Chains A and B, each alone.
Chain A
């Protein structure tokens, strides 16, 4: 009896490292932000006053905050759709036994392992009209009549950026779904074949249901990572043109580090925090598999 007790304490001790990290690196900054959000504090040490909820009322009354929220949702869900559908097909395509498939699976990872700085700046160059190869190619095959500055146009900037970002994330989703595919025992397919299922039916009734939890999971990760994408947007468009790609993380950065209004930026943060916690509540209550006893 006592031995079990001791073991259990040990097991809690095992949790300590990651617990400390979460507390210091993630929780502490959020608490600081919560405090800042009630002050008119500005970055750089000038004096600050307690102003109650003023930062919040200012934000809620301003158009730019709601616009950024909308941009964030547009960005997140736009990415999500591509990053869920395309990897599914890529994974099925790559889930074959063939010579060289190993190489193909590695090569496809390139966009994901390439550092963001490199990708962002090179892509800016490749997307330019006249100078960039993408415009030259699209006009030469007759897909476009006039060259477009994709990242510089209010209507094309967001879709172009979503495509670019998805391209960078695709490999990761592909890999995870591929892993899920490989975990499906072959006998399941054989059984389906015996029952006379066609290729599509196999996908619809066998593969897809078995993958669905993984797809949900990739969806969650994609949501998390896309919702707070900052460096990719900042290094390509800085939230522009105008505010066309100014998602919430970009707004926070701009407010805190370009106009130095730390209090206001913190209020945005707290707002996002509340929004995400509500979202998280749904995630935990509906998407967590019931505990098996």
Chain B
């Protein structure tokens, strides 16, 4: 029996490694290629660099101009993503709590409606949002991006938190109510701590979405130094002059922060969705 289990284990490990390799090899290849000189990137494919160089990274990190400053772009993305996550958490936990605790509302229906919003193409929002934001002085303003990203992710995060909050026993809150705690205190002292896996999930989800978003940033940001990471990366893909070297190294650099953030919370992520899984 133990013998069978061992071979079974080895097979499982083997399959997992194989599947992982199949899924993440492009990143390995991009990473390796980011050390190739342009000459090799632009010639016939070979897996390993013949003449490895750090030039691609140097261009990005040290050759900074007033127009292109990649570390600054990443910092802008960080700023936007952190605040998007923060605002999303505030908005969707409050709304999610409202939905989850309202006896008259059919929570399932409302949270489904929140998800249904995502069916409508976001391309359509570009023009009206642009006009709206320029009149509100939110054009070419990182804060404007934070607002739009918060709006884009908060329906999903609200849904996530509704299913999570519904699983928190009402009795806990009711006993707090008996002890004289107001709604607000109950919310911050009892509900929020219990919902932390859901909050971490929602936060990470909004961070990741904001980090990679391209369309709205493209339309709403104009100044060179306000560009976010994806916009900055896109400047390497100029129509008649694609800068392959920095493009590859930039693709690696832009993934590192999200990956670092994601690694420790990926366990929470699964827990965060489990509540939704039970509910649905």
Residues of B within 8 A of A213 (CB): 280
Asked if A81 CB lies within 8 Å of chain B CBs, one says no
B151 shortest CB reach to chain A, Å: 4
Whether B255 and A25, one on each chain, are in contact in the complex, defined by CB atoms closer than 8 angstroms, is no
Closest residue to A234 on the B side, CB-wise? B215
Q: Which of B37-45, B49-57, B62-70 contacts A (4 or more CB under 8 A)?
A: B37-45
B104 shortest CB reach to chain A, Å: 7
Residues of B within 8 A of A13 (CB): 98
A122 to B234, CA, bound (A): 11
Contacts A98-B13, A114-B212 given; indicate if A122 touches B30 (C-beta within 8 A).
yes
Residues of A within 8 A of B16 (CB): 93-94, 101, 104
Closest residue to B147 on the A side, CB-wise? A25
CB contacts under 8 Å to B, within A13-41, are 13-19, 21-22, 24-26, 28-30, 32-33
Asked if A117 CB lies within 8 Å of chain B CBs, one says yes
Residues of B within 8 A of A18 (CB): 91-92, 95, 114, 154-155, 158
Residues of B within 8 A of A109 (CB): 262, 266
Asked if B123 CB lies within 8 Å of chain A CBs, one says yes
B32 shortest CB reach to chain A, Å: 10
Asked if B183 CB lies within 8 Å of chain A CBs, one says yes
B interface residues, how many (CB within 8 angstroms): 93
Interface string of A99-113 (1 = CB under 8 A from B): 001101111111111
Whether B112 and A256, one on each chain, are in contact in the complex, defined by CB atoms closer than 8 angstroms, is no
Whether B45 and A133, one on each chain, are in contact in the complex, defined by CB atoms closer than 8 angstroms, is yes
The tally of CB-CB contacts under 8 A between chains A and B is: 260
Asked if A252 CB lies within 8 Å of chain B CBs, one says yes
Whether A14 and B95, one on each chain, are in contact in the complex, defined by CB atoms closer than 8 angstroms, is yes
Asked if A269 CB lies within 8 Å of chain B CBs, one says yes
Residues of B within 8 A of A284 (CB): 109, 112, 116
Residues of A within 8 A of B195 (CB): none
A122 to B246, CA, bound (A): 12
Residues of B within 8 A of A15 (CB): 95, 98-99, 102
Contacts A113-B262, A224-B115 given; indicate if A130 touches B44 (C-beta within 8 A).
yes
A101 to B21, CA, bound (A): 14
A29 to B122, CA, bound (A): 10
Q: Which of A102, A182, A248 makes the CB contact (< 8 A) with B266? A: A102
Residues of B within 8 A of A33 (CB): 124, 128
The 6 A-B residue pairs whose C-beta atoms are closest, nearest first, are: A14-B98, A115-B212, A179-B273, A180-B277, A118-B251, A29-B128
**Contacts A/B (CB < 8 Å), 23 sampled:** A17-B91, A18-B114, A21-B151, A21-B155, A25-B125, A29-B125, A98-B9, A105-B267, A110-B24, A111-B26, A114-B212, A114-B258, A117-B212, A117-B234, A118-B250, A175-B270, A176-B276, A179-B274, A179-B276, A183-B277, A221-B115, A252-B123, A256-B126
Q: For the A-B complex with A21-B154, A227-B121, A248-B121 known, give 9 more contacts whose Cβ atoms are closer than 8 Å.
A: A17-B91, A25-B151, A94-B16, A98-B9, A108-B24, A110-B255, A111-B24, A132-B45, A182-B274
